[in-house]
Amino acid sequence: MNIRLPSEKLFGIYHLGRFIDKAHLKNQGKLSEEYLASFCSPKGLDGLFIDFFKLDQEEFLEAVANSSDTARDQEIVSWVLSKVSEEQIEEWNEFAFNLGRPGTPSRERFEQVLPVKYPNLPPDFPGTVFEAIEADEKN
């Protein structure tokens, strides 16, 4: 199973498709060690997503586990949309899209994590977290 990029919106929400993919793989015991190590970490995208929307991690994993293979995205989107507002989604999309962007508060943290999490990228990588993930996964 391919893991979607965080920049791919699912029903208008950045990172949701990727998070569903990772949760599904984790539930099956098939999430790679690389992803498992940071899955739902409070400082990673999954953890930020959960925290931003005030979702319960275990409930999210359970919703993914109980979803059908053929309608997983729709079922999880419906579950998420029952718990969040359009305003929250707009705020999340702005926040997430700019994570790590030069000149933002998240840049300092991103620069600290960059050599550890993305050792194949230059330490002065000028992009965002989304761009780093995309560049890293192309390698």
- If we measure between CA atoms, which residue out of 58, 65, 53, 60 comes closest to residue 19? 60
Instruction: For residue 26, give both structure tokens.
Output: 């984790």
Exposure of 102 in the CB half-sphere (CA atoms within 13 A): 4
User: Structural domain of residue 33, as residue ranges?
Assistant: 1-84
Domain final residue, candidates 60, 84, 108: 84
Whole-prediction pTM: 0.92
Let me know whether 66 and 2 are in one domain. Answer: yes
Let me know whether 40 and 105 are in one domain. Answer: no
Q: Please list the pLDDT of the chain residue by residue as tens digits (139 residues).
A: 689 999 999 999 999 999 999 999 999 999 999 899 889 999 899 999 999 999 999 999 999 999 998 899 999 999 999 999 999 999 999 999 999 999 988 999 999 999 999 999 998 899 999 999 999 988 7
Specify which residues 10 forms β-bridges with.
13
Let me know whether 60 and 10 are in one domain. Answer: yes
User: Are the CB atoms for 48 and 96 separated by under 8 Å?
Assistant: yes
Taking every pair of Cα atoms in the chain, the longest distance, rounded to a whole number of angstroms, is 42
Let me know whether 62 and 29 are in one domain. Answer: yes
